Structure 1
Amino acid sequence: MKALVLTGPGRAEVQDVPEPAAEPGQVVVDVHRAGICGTDVEFLTGEMAYLHTGDAAYPMRIGHEWMGTVSAVGAGVDPSWIGQRVTGDTMLGCGACRRCARGRQHVCAHRLELGIRGGKAGALAEKVATTVGSLHRMPSAVDDAAGAMVEPGGNAFRAVQGAGLGSGDRCLVIGPGTIGLLSAMFARAAGAEVHLLAADERSAAFARSLGFDDVWTVERMPQLPWDAVIEASNAPHLPATAVELVEPGGRVVFIGLAGTPSLIDTRDLAVKDVTAVGVLSASPGLAGTIDAYADGVVDPRPLIAATVALDELPSILAGSRPEGAGPGPKIQVAL
Structure 2
Amino acid sequence: MRAFVLSGPREFEIQDVAPPVAAAGHVVIDVARVGVCGTDVEFYTGEMQYLHEGHAEYPLRLGHEWMGTVVAAGDGVDPGWIGRRVTGDTMLGCGRCRRCLAGHQHVCEFRDEVGIRNGFPGALAEQLAMPVSALHALPDTVDDRLGALVEPGGNALRSVRGAEVSEGDRVLVLGPGTIGLLAAMFAQSQGAEVHLMGRSRRSLDYAGSLGFDGVWTDGDLPELPWDAVIDASNAPALPARALDLVEPSGRVVYIGLAGSPSLVDTRMLALKDVTAVGVLSASPGLAGTIDRYASGAVDPRPLVAATIGLDEVGDVLAGGRPEGAGLGPKIHVDPRR
Q: What's the TM-score bracket when you normalise by the shorter of the two chains?
A: over 0.9
Q: How far apart are 1:11 and its partner, in Å?
A: 0.7
Name the CA distance, whole Å, in 1 between partners of 2:80 and 2:97.
29
Q: How far apart are 1:203 and its partner, in Å?
A: 1.1
Q: How far apart are 1:334 and its partner, in Å?
A: 1.3
Q: Secondary structure of 1:166's match?
A: coil
Is 15-24 or 313-322 further displaced after alignment? 313-322
Query: Partner residue of 1:46?
Result: 46
Q: Secondary structure of 1:66's match?
A: strand
Q: How far apart are 1:168 and its partner, in Å?
A: 1.1
Query: Partner residue of 1:191?
Result: 191
The amino acid across from 1:273 in the alignment is D
Q: Secondary structure of 2:63's match?
A: coil
Query: Partner residue of 1:121?
Result: 121
Name the CA distance, whole Å, in 2 between partners of 1:12 and 1:223.
47
Q: Secondary structure of 2:235's match?
A: coil
Query: Partner residue of 1:160?
Result: 160
Q: Deviations over 1:1-22 (max 9, x none)?
A: 0011000011121111100111
Name the CA distance, whole Å, in 1 between partners of 2:260 and 2:73.
42
1:248 aligns with 2:245: no
Q: How far apart are 1:92 and its partner, in Å?
A: 0.3
Name the CA distance, whole Å, in 2 between partners of 1:173 and 1:213.
11
Name the CA distance, whole Å, in 2 between partners of 1:331 and 1:120.
22
Percent of pairs with identical residues: 68
Paired residues for 1:287-302 under 5 Å = 287-302=287-302
Query: Partner residue of 1:207?
Result: 207
The amino acid across from 2:247 in the alignment is E
The answer to whether the 8 A contact 2:3-2:17 is kept is: yes
Q: Deviations over 1:259-299 (max 9, x none)?
A: 00001111110110100000000000000000000000111
Query: Partner residue of 2:285?
Result: 285
Q: Secondary structure of 2:5's match?
A: strand
The answer to whether the 8 A contact 2:193-2:213 is kept is: no
Q: How far apart are 1:316 and its partner, in Å?
A: 1.5
Name the CA distance, whole Å, in 1 between partners of 2:4 and 2:212.
36
Q: Which runs of 5+ in 1 are unaligned?
A: none
The amino acid across from 1:189 in the alignment is S
Query: Partner residue of 1:136?
Result: 136
State the TM-score, normalized to the length of structure 1.
0.99
Q: Cα RMSD (Å) of the superposition?
A: 0.6
Q: How far apart are 1:49 and its partner, in Å?
A: 0.2
Name the CA distance, whole Å, in 2 between partners of 1:123 and 1:256.
23
Name the CA distance, whole Å, in 2 between partners of 1:13 and 1:269.
47
The amino acid across from 2:246 in the alignment is V
The answer to whether the 8 A contact 2:36-2:332 is kept is: yes
Q: How far apart are 1:192 and its partner, in Å?
A: 0.8
Q: Secondary structure of 1:123's match?
A: coil
Query: Partner residue of 2:321?
Result: 321
The amino acid across from 1:238 in the alignment is L
Name the CA distance, whole Å, in 2 between partners of 1:129 and 1:229.
38
The amino acid across from 2:100 in the alignment is C
Q: Secondary structure of 2:288's match?
A: helix
Name the CA distance, whole Å, in 1 between partners of 2:213 and 2:161.
23
Paired residues for 1:1-335 under 5 Å = 1-335=1-335
Name the CA distance, whole Å, in 1 between partners of 2:264 and 2:217.
22
Name the CA distance, whole Å, in 2 between partners of 1:13 and 1:237.
36
Q: Secondary structure of 2:306's match?
A: strand
Q: How far apart are 1:213 and its partner, in Å?
A: 3.4
The amino acid across from 1:16 in the alignment is D
Name the CA distance, whole Å, in 1 between partners of 2:268 and 2:13.
47
Q: Secondary structure of 2:151's match?
A: helix
Name the CA distance, whole Å, in 1 between partners of 2:265 and 2:168.
29
State the TM-score, normalized to the length of structure 2.
0.99
Q: Secondary structure of 2:229's match?
A: strand
Q: Which runs of 5+ in 2 are unaligned?
A: none
Name the CA distance, whole Å, in 2 between partners of 1:100 and 1:190.
31
Q: Secondary structure of 1:14's match?
A: strand
Name the CA distance, whole Å, in 2 between partners of 1:239 and 1:214.
20
The amino acid across from 1:5 in the alignment is V
